[in-house]
Amino acid sequence: MPPALDSRCALFLDIDGTLAEIAATPDAVQLHPAFADLLPDLQRELGGAVAIVTGRSITSADALLSGLVLPMAGQHGCERRDAEGAIHLHATSGATQNRLRDLLEGLARRHPQLMLEDKGATMALHYRATPQLASHVHQTMRRSMHDNDGFELLPGRMLLEVRPEGRDKGTSIADFMAEPPFAGRVPVFVGDDKTDEHGFDAVEKLGGWSVKVGPGRTSAQFRLANPVAVRRWLLAPIETPPQSDSTTIKR
């Protein structure tokens, strides 16, 4: 169990598998109604230093949050909305992206059980409905990627994602931590998947702490069993630390 948040923290949260249970398709995911009040409360108590860091697009994540507009990194940091509402985009090679999109679309046509999620800068091929195709999907995409593409493959929970190189959840958290209201705080990142490991590493390098949700190997320092446990942990009162020159949480 991670320690309770305190008022020096900057909180970064994944969505799928962390705030919400994984569903058969991304569109079927639902956020528990309690978060409608909990997230604004956390944002107020932490001086605005709450952000969503997700593989979803910002548009998709905003729809889940039902009108609550938070600072957010979408598509593993390929798009980011800062605390002032400014959008930061990281462009990719259109020709290369189109070639990879055609390849993914071809795989999905040949195997209708696969689901292609085109988020814009990133694309994910889901094989949750047919896990026996996982090896075929991974091998096909590895053979088709070139060293100079500027894209990389990122395995996730029952999916394979194609994303631009150089952007991940860790770089997004570092970007936020260089800006108000996050700068100078203790970063805390909560995530559930392999794609969140970059975020865990980033917060630890910045003197913060990391929380893995669910089973599986991880570099995170703490673990919570599931999104229900995450919600219970976030509902705990935020502590007020003693006055100190240090901003490092003792563990």
pLDDT tens, position by position, 28-41: 999 999 998 999 99
Identify whether the C-beta of residue 55 lies closer than 8 Å to the C-beta of residue 124: yes
Calpha distance 64→238 (Å, rounded): 25
* Torsion from C-alpha of 218, 241, 53, 229, nearest 10 degrees: 60
Give 244's Cβ-side CA count (13 Å radius). Answer: 10
Q: Which of 14, 62, 193, 201 is catalytic?
A: 14
pLDDT of residue 148: 63
Single pTM value for the model: 0.85
Q: Which residues of the chain have pLDDT under 70?
A: 91, 93, 148, 243-251
From residue 56, give the alpha-carbon distance in Å to each of 107, 136, 229, 247, 250: 21, 24, 22, 31, 33
Instruction: Match 């999109």 to its residue by tokens.
Output: 101
Q: Quick one: 24 exposed, middle or buried, by C-beta within 10 A (0-12, 13-18, 19+)?
A: exposed
Q: Name the nearest CA neighbour of 234 among 250, 218, 211.
A: 211
pLDDT at 244: 54
For residue 90, which phi and psi values (nearest 5 degrees)? -120, 105
Instruction: Report yes or no: 172 and 76 within 8 Å, Cβ to Cβ.
Output: yes
pLDDT in tens, 150-172: 888 989 889 999 988 888 999 99
Give the integer Cα–Cα distance in Å for 158 and 80.
25
pLDDT at 113: 93
**What pLDDT shows up at residue 165?**
86
Q: What percent of the chain has pLDDT over 90?
A: 75
Query: Known catalytic residue: 14?
Result: yes
Question: What is d(CA 184, CA 40) in angstroms, rounded to the nearest whole number?
Answer: 21
* Residues 238, 190: Cα–Cα separation, whole Å: 16
